[in-house]
Structure 1
Amino acid sequence: MAVKLIACDMDGTLLDNKGSYDRSRFEKMLNSLKEKDIKFLVATGNNIGRLSLMFDGLFDDLSFVAENGSHLLENGKTFSRKGISDDLVCDFLDFYHDKLVDYRVMISTAESSYVLEGATFDFSRAAIEKEQLDKFLSRIKLLKSFSELPNEPFLKINMAIPVKHENEIISSFNRNFKGPLTAVTSGYGAVDVTPKGIHKAWGIEQFMKKWHIKPEEVMAFGDAPNDIEMLKLAKYSYAMANAPQDVKDSGHFIAPSNDDNGVFRVIETQILER
């Protein structure tokens, strides 16, 4: 198995169902991969605020495809950032003008995330550590109207929609929105809206070009619909046992579940112990 790059999702994949991971085992794995000259790439829908807490002390030694490909960092430093134009944000807000509170629409800049008054979030079952959740909540600013948005570059659009209507809402948006945006879920009603063509696989490909790595030299792990493109990209792609069937169908192999440390087990047995 001639692997030179491992791309790994976080929530539901490397992270367990409490939103944490075995830090000591992870550091040992990273060091062993480095000795074999194998790069480890974090590929996630999370933003850098949460990732900097998640990988405190390791952040500058890691590379990231963050925000589903919209933000790329090598050794903790940005080398690509895809924003969303003011016009596209306005078109999106017009499209959902009567659903902005119900769908908990959130518009983010570099410093803050903006939602309308009346939008409520339930984090009681969220798989996220308290410090990371507190950091996320500290960024949120309430507005009476999105006409009050600041004159700053817009970097991200998110929605938190009812899970039972998730597929219907996403399909309807992708079919009917007249603009270069696409919606994708990372599960449990969490939806990212990004420029068309920008996803985890696109971000990974930018690193592959930079590092001169071919698809047949890539291993990838994921569990959610926003991982499908990268699972299709990599030769050694592992859908997690806890993934839905459409994600499993996109990978070439099945890894043990996130709660069974599937990522560690595959890398250790297939890469490090050989």
Structure 2
Amino acid sequence: MTIKLIATDMDGTLLDQRGQLDLPRLEKILDQLDQRDIRFVIATGNEVHRMRQLLEHLASRVVLVVANGARIFENNKLIQAQTWDDAMVDKALVHFKGRECRDQFVVTSMNGSFVKEGTVFTDLEKFMTPEMIEKLYQRTNFVDELNSDLFGGVLKMSMVVGEERSSSVLQEINDLFDGRVRAVSSGYGCIDILQAGVHKAWGLEELL
């Protein structure tokens, strides 16, 4: 069998417990893979900005399947994106109105990440350095109201509800959308809300 591609996740896989990446080691691996004409792919729930921050000068040497498969970048260029139906976006915004700050509700879109003004992200120190947390706040758009006109297409939504509420909120969201949108746990009491059928494995299949 000829290996043509190697794919990995980030959190708990390529990253250490502090969310750090061993860039010198990865660069040596990429050099060896290039010699064998093997592509290296990272499939992750993170968005492209954090990936470029982590990978630094190596970002253009890997293929990025980000936002749980919703976007694919090669050589730092977008080659595919899958966005939500407008009706689903509006339904979610109406449903979560009034609890955006409490639940740390984030809309990840083609135009960046949007949250309601007043939102404070908790527990980030579990998997990010202080520098990463500061940059996250800098590149996040804090707005008075979340409005679909801002987004240019939604890739996914996410929430932080705590371990004790995670199961009930997962059920709430999955009941709300009748299978067209799926909520999944991403650990630490965090929930990703994804278009049904769009996930990391789907993104990898599209890439292949």
Find the counterpart in structure 2 of residue 102 from structure 1: 102
Q: Is this contact kept in 2: 1:19–1:127, CA < 8 A?
A: yes
How many angstroms does 1:72 deviate by? 0.6
TM-score, scaled to structure 2: 0.87
The SS at the match of 2:30 is helix
2: CA distance, partners of 1:155 / 1:205: 18
Q: Which has the greater radius of gyration?
A: 1
1:133 maps to a residue whose letter is I
The SS at the match of 1:42 is strand
1: CA distance, partners of 2:28 / 2:87: 47
How many angstroms does 1:136 deviate by? 1.5
Q: Deviations over 1:197-226 (max 9, x none)?
A: 000000111122xxxxxxxxxxxxxxxxxx
Find the counterpart in structure 2 of residue 205 from structure 1: 205
The SS at the match of 2:21 is coil
2: CA distance, partners of 1:83 / 1:23: 31
**How many residues are aligned here?**
208
Q: Deviations over 1:132-178 (max 9, x none)?
A: 32222112233333359636333331211212222332133223324
Find the counterpart in structure 2 of residue 32 from structure 1: 32
TM-score, scaled to structure 1: 0.68
Q: 1:108 to 1:22 in 2, by over 3 A?
A: closer
2: CA distance, partners of 1:180 / 1:41: 27
The SS at the match of 2:142 is strand
Question: Does structure 1 residue 126 correspond to structure 2 residue 134?
Answer: no
1:41 maps to a residue whose letter is V
Find the counterpart in structure 2 of residue 138 from structure 1: 138
How many angstroms does 1:185 deviate by? 2.4
1: CA distance, partners of 2:60 / 2:112: 23
List alignment gaps of at least 5 residues for structure 1: 209-274
1: CA distance, partners of 2:124 / 2:202: 33
Q: Is this contact kept in 2: 1:182–1:196, CA < 8 A?
A: yes
2:99 maps to a residue whose letter is K
How many angstroms does 1:105 deviate by? 1.2
2: CA distance, partners of 1:78 / 1:184: 25
Q: Is this contact kept in 1: 2:70–2:203, CA < 8 A?
A: yes
Q: Is this contact kept in 1: 2:156–2:195, CA < 8 A?
A: no
Question: Does structure 1 residue 76 correspond to structure 2 residue 76?
Answer: yes
Find the counterpart in structure 1 of residue 60 from structure 2: 60
Find the counterpart in structure 2 of residue 49 from structure 1: 49
Q: 1:149 to 1:162 in 2, by over 3 A?
A: farther
2: CA distance, partners of 1:147 / 1:203: 27
List alignment gaps of at least 5 residues for structure 2: none
The SS at the match of 1:99 is coil
Find the counterpart in structure 2 of residue 222 from structure 1: none
Q: Is this contact kept in 2: 1:108–1:154, CA < 8 A?
A: yes
Q: Is this contact kept in 2: 1:111–1:139, CA < 8 A?
A: no
Find the counterpart in structure 2 of residue 115 from structure 1: 115
1: CA distance, partners of 2:116 / 2:32: 47
The SS at the match of 1:125 is helix
Q: 1:151 to 1:12 in 2, by over 3 A?
A: closer
